[in-house]
Structure 1
């Protein structure tokens, strides 16, 4: 069994392996996601999802709120420190031709989801599509700075850190006043998420062998419903979603280092590395008739 620090360590080793061929050059990271990886983009939006006030940031450097949805650092901050680089700044804090874009950018936005209608009641937020579109603008700015050939090399050698998925449940499907829960069955919704994310990966043209995805869809504890059955169902969603993405994005690519890290697993020390070394899987089985085969500690 491994703990959260070991999982982060594995992710760092994976990222370092991505750039080993760069000859010791500094790692450049582009971060996409929601509130678990945001570093301040929503500060620049008319959004109800903000964290730029006390007591957010009380344990961060300087003790002030920065727009991170935490008292301290995000996992992206921790990984950046371990890699010996500064945590990338929020995209909306930069001017289009800022030299900082060559060292990495964070596009994450609290309330964001894979689906564009996720988190609508937060008013403004950068959905994953918005983040991808912003990254396209960044690529154009990089091309203008260093030329097309060097820009393509830069983009292909960068590392892409993506944390997305939980809001599509918590702030969409599992909300009784939103349409998704009425429009789709659980299987249909998982298929929708998987197919949408697959299309987004295609459009973004991320170099798939340099992508690390931090997915939170197993977070049963944030399920905003007192029903234990709903919590168990949310966990089923997470497992099924991971399996779908594994089939769509990894198994088609031989020895792909694309990895999915599930934080709930890390906290409860139930990770088992996929036989091909690309995924962490968890020993949880839940059928649709409510017959539980899950360790109760995972529901705490």
Structure 2
């Protein structure tokens, strides 16, 4: 049979057979990382699917016209081959580390990565966009992808997944995968307190209620698409991150109580809302994840956790440098990243992320199964 006949033969193959061959050839090789989290018998987590902001973004902002980028040195100095990928960190971010711990894969690609391969979709992708928040205004201010836009890309992902593996397998992946939602930091720290963009309309109480309501709406939408295992992270102690200390911590650069209280208020409302969702939506495992407590303890007592510096980042002076301000031209890098809690003025180091992820998985993983 000549090459032309071969092509015609392949084109004539029936779709079910193509799907079968795809599953035989591709599915067995998509999980290459040994799981560190012990799952119950007969339980599988086929993919990790992520929404949110720069805590989780693995490079979606690289293709956007925005100043909120991290695809240049010194970002990524501890990543594979020291290559900056758009992750706001010296190395991996929680998206990667959670996938690694669950044995899914060691790196979770950004959905908008031009090098994304079809088989990447089977084990999950990241839709998060640095600079975004629950409040649509937050994303609009810095020209990044709002949660509504991330959902539109997710709809596109679902269709691609269906084309790859068929309706039944697509439904299985969505139902059994772990969904992560990490937002709120930019709403509170930037939109509300730094830019005062919502203070004429809302006080802290009403703004945090708005955020919690928007978070619950987002979870409902994920459930409507077929998601059942959904982890929603609360806000960190925003008043203690370096940039906010510089902006609101006075001459001594102490933690700002106003930002911390807003974060705790939002967290309480978010937790209550998610509990209600879990009780009312059939089959839903929606879990509130507290990151405030552990990170606050590390910041307050860094030496207890093996760190030396917690009030400034490793990049530049560590007081304000983040995104384009953290660059190899105007910013030096600390001599020992492992001694620092924060990489830049807003984001923790990979070492801190590893501590947080390990602690959180120990505490929350079994709640999804």
TM range (shorter): 0.7 to 0.9
> What SS does the corresponding residue of 1:69 show, helix, strand or coil?
coil
Compute the RMSD of aligned alpha carbons.
Answer: 3.3
Q: Is the aligned partner of 1:195 residue 2:213?
A: yes
For 2:316, the equivalent position in structure 1 comes to none
Distance 2:196 2:264 in 1: 25
1:225 and 2:248 matched: yes
Which of residues 244, 247, 250 in structure 1 aligns to 2:272?
Answer: 247
Q: Which residue of 2 aligns with 1:29?
A: 48
1:248-280 Cα distance to aligned partner (Å, 9 max, x none): 222453597533334342134499999xx96xx
SS at match of 2:256: helix
Is the 8 Å Cα contact of residues 37 and 102 (structure 2) preserved in structure 1?
A: no
**In the alignment, which residue of structure 2 is the partner of 1:174?**
193
Counterpart Cα distance in 2 of 1:225 and 1:120: 24
Matches within 5 A, 1:147-186: 147-178=166-197, 180-186=198-204
What is the Cα deviation at residue 86 of structure 1?
2.9
**Offset at 1:93?**
1.3
Structure 1 residue aligned with 2:330 = none
User: Which residue of the other structure, out of 128, 131, 134, is the alignment partner of 1:108?
Assistant: 128
Task: Name the counterpart of 1:6.
Answer: none
Which of 246, 254, 265 is the aligned partner of 2:293? 265
Cα distance in 2 between the residues matched to 1:176 and 1:225: 12
Matched residue of 1:259: which SS? strand
Distance (whole Å) between structure 1 residues aligned to residue 205 and residue 114 of structure 2: 40
Aligned partners of 1:95, 1:134: CA distance in 2, in Å?
A: 16
Cα contact 1:97–1:141 (8 A) shared by 2: no
Residue 130 (1) aligns with residue 153 (2): no
Per mean C-alpha deviation after superposition, the further-off stretch among 34-43 and 253-262 is: 253-262
> How much has 1:217 moved relative to structure 2?
4.2
Equivalent residue, structure 2, for 1:120: 140
Offset of residue 61 of structure 1:
1.4
SS at match of 2:159: helix
Bigger Cα displacement from structure 2, 264-273 vs 90-99: 264-273
1:82 match: 101
- Note the alpha carbon deviations across 1:20-55, whole angstroms, 9 max, x for none: 544xx5631101121111111111111110011111
CA contact (8 A) 2:212 2:266 kept: yes
1:172 and 1:213 map into 2 onto residues whose CA distance is 21
Change (3 A) 1:30 1:173: same
Distance in 2 (alpha carbons) for counterparts of 1:31 and 1:159: 8
TM-score between the two structures when normalised by the length of structure 2 = 0.62
Structure 1 position 177, deviation (Å): 4.8
Give how far 1:208 is off: 6.3
Assess, with a 3 A threshold, how the Cα gap between structure 1 residues 233 and 191 changes in structure 2: closer, same or farther.
Answer: same
Q: CA 1:129–1:50 in structure 2 vs 1: closer, same or farther (change >3 Å)?
A: same
Runs of at least 5 residues in structure 1 that lack an aligned partner in the other structure = 1-11, 279-300
Bigger CA radius of gyration: 2
CA contact (8 A) 2:140 2:146 kept: no
Instruction: Write the distance in 2 (CA, Å) between the matches of 1:188 and 1:208.
Output: 29
